[in-house]
């Protein structure tokens, strides 16, 4: 599903070159869920961004569902994201100008495969039924993140990438959101790569890797 091989990434900073990823190899299969852990600044988010095609590696290869990212130009990478990926961020990144239902359908519509039944089902699963006409800022944090998850899954992606999806939530909401996320991942049978620094959040996932000094250490859960 997702294959990363020998990824290298270095950032230029005013203080000099800062190597962040130093030869990463990782593979994720259909239906598999992987927690990516590591300290702050260890390069977790960078790895996730590379996997999403938001950024390009200095070296190495990334393949998503058989598509070689390095062979794709920007519009093609955008199209790949639109059609095959779902993204969930710590800051939700909902579109404030659109109401709940339009936010939910946005990616599916962009990908050209809106499924009304699935959308309605999602609304119910997310616990947002009856709030279709609300705007994001009228929702609580947990509701917003649930909506963001719904939006990511509305197009039935093959791969869901989540960056600290519960990082902005209190413990109780976090648990609810996480449970919902895993349920839905299971339901849609997509692969999940989730960045987190919390072992509690990582625990329910099928695999766990740690990122340290730019390298991955495979850990059994």
| Interaction pattern, residues 38-77, with other proteins; x per rule: CB under 8 A | -------x---x--x-xx------------------xx--
| Chain residues 76-95 in contact with other proteins, contact rule CB under 8 A | 78-83, 85, 87, 89-91, 93-95
CA–CA separation, 147 and 64 (whole Å): 25
| CA angle in degrees (0–180, nearest 5) for 38-42-48 | 80
Task: Please provide the size of the chain in residues.
Answer: 221
| Interaction pattern, residues 145-184, with other proteins; x per rule: CB under 8 A | ------x---------------------------------
96 binds other proteins, rule: CB under 8 A: yes
Q: Give me the least distance between CB of 130 and other proteins, in Å please.
A: 18
120 binds other proteins, rule: CB under 8 A: no
Name the 3-class secondary structure at 16: strand
* Torsion angle of C-alpha atoms 171, 177, 178, 184, degrees rounded to 10: 170
Q: Give me the least distance between CB of 215 and other proteins, in Å please.
A: 22
H helices of the chain, in order, are: 44-51, 74-84, 100-111, 116-126, 141-153, 171-188, 199-202
Which tokens in the block code for residue 77?
A: 């990478």
Residues in contact with other proteins by the rule CB under 8 A: 45, 49, 52, 54-55, 74-75, 78-83, 85, 87, 89-91, 93-98, 102, 105-107, 109-111, 135, 137-138, 151
């Amino acid at each position: 599903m997702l294959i990363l091989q020998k990824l290298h990434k270095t950032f230029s900073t005013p203080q000099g070159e800062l190597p962040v990823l130093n030869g990463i190899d990782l593979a994720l299969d259909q239906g598999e869920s992987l927690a990516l852990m590591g300290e702050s600044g260890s390069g977790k988010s960078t790895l996730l961004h590379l996997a999403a095609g938001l950024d390009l590696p200095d070296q190495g290869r990334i393949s998503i569902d058989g598509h070689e990212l390095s062979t794709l130009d920007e519009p093609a990478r955008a199209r790949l994201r639109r059609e095959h990926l779902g993204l969930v961020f710590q800051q939700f990144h909902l579109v404030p100008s659109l109401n709940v239902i339009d936010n939910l359908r946005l990616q599916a519509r962009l990908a050209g495969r809106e499924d009304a039944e699935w959308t309605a089902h999602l609304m119910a699963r997310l616990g947002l039924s009856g709030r279709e006409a609300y705007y994001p800022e009228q929702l609580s944090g947990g509701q917003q993140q649930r909506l963001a998850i719904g939006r990511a899954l509305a197009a039935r992606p093959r791969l869901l990438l989540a960056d600290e999806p519960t990082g902005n939530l209190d413990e109780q909401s976090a648990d609810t959101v996480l449970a919902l996320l895993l349920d839905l991942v299971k339901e849609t049978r997509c692969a999940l790569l989730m960045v987190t620094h919390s072992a509690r959040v990582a625990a329910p996932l099928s695999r766990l890797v740690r990122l340290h000094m730019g390298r991955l250490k495979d850990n059994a859960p």
